[in-house]
A = this chain, B = another copy of it.
Amino acid sequence: MPTVFTRKHLLGIRELDAGEITHLLDTAENFRDISRREIKKVPALRGRTVINLFFEPSTRTRTSFEIAAKRLSADAINISVSTSSVSKGETLLDTARNLEAMAPDCIVVRHSMAGAPQQLARMGNAPIVNAGDGSHEHPTQALLDALTIREYKGRIDGLKVAIIGDVLHSRVARSNIHLLTKLGSSVSVAGPGTLVPTEFVELVEQGLTVEKRIEDAIEGADVIMILRIQRERQDAAFFPSLREYAVHFGLHPNHLERAAPDAIVMHPGPMNRGIEIASEIADGSRSLILDQVTNGVAVRMAVLYLLAGGGRTEVEENKIGLAENGTKRRQGNR
């Protein structure tokens, strides 16, 4: 395996190269099997401490990271901080430095401010995983989406992917656009005119197309990614009403006829059924929405494993420490 992941942090997809992304996906694929076993646990991170530091409320992502940490035998510590109780900038750093002084092996951070995890990584010592920062990046979401695509399509290179919705405010879209173009997909985005970020103009030569109409973006698509309407992240009215959004940019069954015959549909959740996606599609045979969630645990296991030190000690003894007899040997060696 020529490429390895030697970074200390996972802050975004933008700075990763295709080899690093592929290594993360390969590692996650190995971990996916653990959650299907009866004993869903490997000793890879025994005695390590993973802190989930969430400045925004989250059920799904926090739970996914917590389950991932525990299935690696790490001690998981959850900290929920309402942003209101923390002054900005420096005090975020003080909070993080204080936690670092307790010797965690990894800090998973979600924050409403774009760049918060980068700031912590720059100033501190512990490995930082970005679990979503403002409208900036959500790298583990893009990785789990890619793992899901690869599982069902066998590849990412050469696919046509449509991303539909509030792209401007979506850290999910941003991370996915970076990942998919790096791995050779061509990506079409469509959303209300005002919602497509100008910064992606640079990506047009790498295969990004910006469409005005959902129908044009979906035309021939192998993968349709629907974004969640992030009502809480909009400070201005970008479209007249949810009803109108549903009519113009909601995914309806007749849209699927324009996509490739075996097109798959994804959504990062939680869904606003009947707004950005019709229930028939969400519950239909093309929907991989729950597969995404399952792959989320595997991706987070891989990320924690690589960053929190599991890889450093296990790799010689037992490749990635997943074999159940590996468990026995470690017990014996201690």
Contacts and interface: CB of A to CB of B under 8 A. Distances in A.
A122 interface: no
Given A35-B103, A98-B293, A273-B90, A49 B67 contact: yes
Interface in A29-63: 35-41, 46-49, 51, 57, 59-60, 63
Given A49-B67, A269-B98, A103 B297 contact: yes
Contact of A67 (B40, B77, B81, B290): B77
Interface string A184-221: 00000000000000000000000000000000000000
- Most B CB contacts (10 A, CB to CB) among A39, A81, A101 go to A101
A102 B270 contact: no
Given A94-B269, A103-B36, A294-B101, A79 B63 contact: yes
Interface residues of A, number: 57
A60 B70 CA distance: 22
Interface stretch (A236-244, A253-261, A324-332): A324-332
A76 to B, nearest CB: 9
A101 B290 contact: yes
B79 A75 contact: no
Contacts of A4: none
A102 B293 contact: yes
A285 interface: no
Nearest to A104: B67
Interface string A81-120: 1000100001100110111111111000000000000000
Task: Determine which residue in A64, A77, A100, A291 has the highest number of CB atoms from chain B within 10 A of its CB, and name it.
Answer: A77
A309 interface: yes
A137 interface: no
Interface string A268-285: 011101000001000000
Interface string A294-334: 10110000000000010001000000000010011001001
A48 B59 contact: no
Name which of A46, A59, A85, A269 has the most chain B CB atoms within 10 A of its CB: A59
Given A36-B103, A98-B269, A290-B97, A324 B328 contact: no
Given A40-B48, A334-B324, A71 B67 contact: no
Nearest to A313: B38
A66 B77 CA distance: 8
A290 B100 CA distance: 9
A299 to B, nearest CB: 12
Given A59-B95, A67-B75, A294 B102 contact: yes
B36 A47 contact: no
A79 B102 contact: no
A38 B309 contact: yes
A59 B40 contact: no
Contacts of A102: 35, 63-64, 67, 293-294, 296-297
Given A49-B71, A101-B293, 9 more contacts: A38-B47, A39-B46, A63-B77, A63-B79, A64-B102, A66-B77, A70-B77, A91-B273, A102-B293
